[in-house]
Amino acid sequence: MKFELPQLPYALDALEPHISKTTMEYHYGKHHNAYVTNLNNLVPGTPFENADLETIVKESDGGIFNNGAQVWNHTFYFMSFSPEGGGAPNGSLAEAINKAFGSFEAFKDEFSKAAATLFGSGWAWLVKKEDGSLEIIKESNAGNPLRNGLTPILTCDVWEHAYYLDKQNLRPKYIESFWNLIDWDVAASRY
């Protein structure tokens, strides 16, 4: 199976001023694209040659996992944004957030803290457990909650390439901007 860099549902400059066009050119156009290219070069002749991306994330290891999971994670991340994003969710996702965290603001604070305190590179995730409840988890490097039977709802990429051109070493400032871009309809569809 040949993997391709997905088309974004918005222009590279559409997320400004929260995420710059320059960051998108590097993060999406170079980093994300490199993971796609690497994965396409790694899978031929392996048991994952004809596997879909979710199977690769769940079952592979080493370089195939690292690149496959990064393709999946980045696609999930970029597809969570909208130039008209922000605000708060409604409906069943809002109810689940309130049940799990007490309020949307409490959830936002806890999620932001998880993203800000993850040591090194990785991802903060809002996930749905098998019982339907929500949890915030942190995954290092290419970690993905699918490997633990969890359903991803939302993620924040805290690899430095996600924010360094815009915010330098100020990860919390990037996380503040992140909330202005979330497409809660997309997140709700994952719930």
What is the model's pLDDT at position 1?
Answer: 74
Report, as ranges of residue numbers, the positions in the chain whose pLDDT lies below 70: none
Q: Are 162 and 130 in contact (CB under 8 A)?
A: no
CB atoms within 10 A of CB 132: 11
Residues 113-122: pLDDT tens digits?
Answer: 999 999 999 9
What stretch(es) of the chain map to CATH 3.55.40.20? 91-190
What is the model's pLDDT at position 165?
Answer: 85
What is the model's pLDDT at position 170?
Answer: 87
Q: Are 144 and 73 in contact (CB under 8 A)?
A: yes
Contacts of the segment 57-66: beta carbons below 8 A, 24+ positions apart = 57/144, 57/146, 57/147, 58/146, 58/147, 63/38, 64/39, 65/142, 66/141, 66/142
| Torsion angle of the four alpha carbons 91, 94, 100, 104, in this order, in degrees rounded to the nearest 10 | -160
What stretch(es) of the chain map to CATH 1.10.287.990? 21-78
| CATH fold for the domain made of 91-190 | minor pseudopilin epsh fold (3.55.40)
Segment (H or E) for 135? strand 134-140
What is the model's pLDDT at position 16?
Answer: 97
- Please name the residue that has the structure tokens 């990429």: 157
Domain 21-78 CATH class label = mainly alpha
**From CA 176, how far away is CA 103, in angstroms rounded?**
18
What is the model's pLDDT at position 148?
Answer: 96
